[in-house]
Amino acid sequence: MAKFTLYIKHKGGSKDSVDKAVVLLKTYISDTIAKGTTFDSSDVSYVDDSTTPALGETDAVVYVVRNISKSVISSKGGSVAIAESNTNILGLTDLNQKICEVYFDRLYEGSPKELAGACYHELAHIKSNMDNSMHTNQDGFLKGSPDYNGSPTDSNKTFLNKHIGRKVKQNAGY
């Protein structure tokens, strides 16, 4: 068996909020992999902007950017138009470029809980390789207008666990 690692690459916003979100995500991801047999352990690691971790073939990275004008997706030629037109969108995943990002300025007062939920949500997009169709028949963290006040629901954990072992070639060096 293997270990799954989620890297949260901090490119903007409060480091304290990101650190607290990482602690929450450690529990969320651990509970998620406990739902299956793909991995026997997991980790969530904070990565500062000057560091590029070596990603394993099933690991993932979510970028935390200060605001949409600092978008990694946009800087690599992707479109963030849907997030520009809807300020309630906390993050985006570009499935073609294999980039996930969360916009720190859209969190309520820098909420680590919201940040952790948004990172979980974008991780589910990249691992399932699904666009907004992923939201269909979902609840909690994975629905179209997610509720990040609780924890991932059992159905959220089951969904992500089904896809978490998928190999995705992301670049952690942006």
Q: Which residue has the tokens 């990603």?
A: 55
What pLDDT does residue 93 have?
A: 98
Bigger pLDDT: 50 vs 35: 50
What pLDDT shows up at residue 147?
86
pLDDT computed for residue 110 by the predictor: 93
**Averaged pLDDT, 83-93:** 96
Is residue 169 assigned to a domain?
Answer: no
Tell me whether residue 174 is in a domain.
no
Say whether pLDDT at 1 is over 80. Answer: no
Nearest by Cα to 121 from 96, 99, 146: 146
In a domain, 168, yes or no: no
Sheet holding 60-65, edge to edge: 39-48, 2-10, 60-65, 99-103, 91-94
DSSP letter assigned to residue 150 = S
Query: Which residue range forms the structural domain that includes residue 97?
Result: 2-163
Where does the pLDDT of residue 37 fall: very low under 50, low under 70, confident under 90, or very high at 90 and above? confident
Give the separation between CA 80 and CA 69, rounded to whole angstroms: 10
Residue 170, domain member (yes or no): no
Q: What is the pLDDT of residue 38?
A: 86
Q: What is the DSSP letter of 130?
A: -
Number of domains forming the structure of the chain? 1
Q: What is the mean pLDDT of residues 71-84?
A: 97
Distances in Å between the alpha carbon of 160 and those of 7, 32, 66, 101, 123?
16, 7, 26, 17, 8
Mean pLDDT (whole number) for 31-45? 91
Span 98-149, pLDDT tens digits:
999 999 999 999 999 999 999 999 999 999 999 999 999 999 999 999 989 8
Closest CA to 80 of 64, 111, 103, 61: 103
Task: Report the candidate in 22, 79, 30 with the shortest Cα–Cα distance to residue 48.
Answer: 22
The pLDDT > 90 percentage for the chain reads: 95
Residue 144 inside a domain? The answer is: yes
Q: Residue 80 is part of a domain; what is its CATH number? A: 3.40.390.10
Residue 171 included in any domain: no
The H or E element spanning position 26 is: helix 15-33
The stretch 145-170 carries a mean pLDDT of 94
Establish if 26 belongs to a structural domain: yes
State pLDDT tens for residues 39-54. Answer: 999 999 999 999 999 9
| Residue 120 belongs to a domain | yes
User: What is the pTM for the complete model shown?
Assistant: 0.97
